[in-house]
Amino acid sequence: MNDYVPGCKTVGELDIDGLGDIYSRDMDVVLLRAKVGMVFQKPNPFPKSIYDNVAYGPKLHGMVKDKQKLNEMVENSLTKVGLWEELKDRLQDSALDLSGGQQQRLCIARAIAVKPTILLMDEPCSALDPMATNAIENLIQELKLRFTIIMVTHSMKQAKKLSDSVIFFHNGRIVESGSTQEIFENAQSPLTKEYILDH
């Protein structure tokens, strides 16, 4: 998508699990999307049932052959995000009727249903109230034990709480990277230090 932004260019190659360069014009984007899950800033459930939101990816990628297996995948994904007990009797309800926090957890369940290698999260709590934010942060703590998570955040508190490593970007360039402890306790760049102090 960045190729369509005037003045923006992508340099280098990125290979995920031996798929080859993901920037190649030959890349099978459907296969890539099975390897890399995405959770956006604002919850974006499909205008479908709760069940169909989670079942969509496994069905698209041919991961299941029978309804019982699909039911198990939906239940497992909803359980992992703490929604199964809340929603097990409402699976045919519209996902659009859920609260913001529930919608975001549903979107995470949808992303992990295809068992990706990497989970990308673009400020997953920015559109949520404090209680929903806390629930999502706790969920991320659990998910990072099973998935590689790359998360964008402007919240220094959240970065410190959730990350193991930090990369500080400014105007599209990497300024500094290191362990979370190194960056927060001993940042080398004046720009990084200033950002941490101001936020």
Q: What pLDDT digit, counting tens, does each position of 84-138 carry?
A: 999 999 999 999 999 999 999 999 999 999 999 999 999 999 888 899 899 999 9
**What average pLDDT score do residues 15-42 get?**
89
What pLDDT, on a 0 to 100 scale, did the predictor assign at position 198? 85
If pLDDT is split at 50, 70 and 90, which confidence band does 11 have? confident
What separation in angstroms does the CA of 18 have from each of 23, 24, 47, 117, 170?
Answer: 13, 13, 34, 12, 30
If pLDDT is split at 50, 70 and 90, which confidence band does 9 have? confident
**What average pLDDT score do residues 39-48 get?**
96
pLDDT at position 7 over 90: no
Which of 29 and 69 is assigned the larger pLDDT?
69
What pLDDT, on a 0 to 100 scale, did the predictor assign at position 1? 57
- Contact status, residue 140 vs residue 158, Cβ threshold 8 Å: no
What pLDDT, on a 0 to 100 scale, did the predictor assign at position 2? 66
What separation in angstroms does the CA of 146 have from each of 20, 115, 142, 151?
Answer: 23, 10, 8, 15
- Cα-to-chain-centroid distance, residue 129: 18
What pLDDT, on a 0 to 100 scale, did the predictor assign at position 30? 85
If pLDDT is split at 50, 70 and 90, which confidence band does 3 have? low
Q: Spell out the domains of the chain, with CATH numbers in brackets.
A: 25-154 (3.40.50.300), 164-199 (no CATH)
Percent of the chain at pLDDT exceeding 70? 98
If pLDDT is split at 50, 70 and 90, which confidence band does 199 have? confident
What pLDDT, on a 0 to 100 scale, did the predictor assign at position 132? 87
- Any idea which residue has 């101001």 for tokens? 198
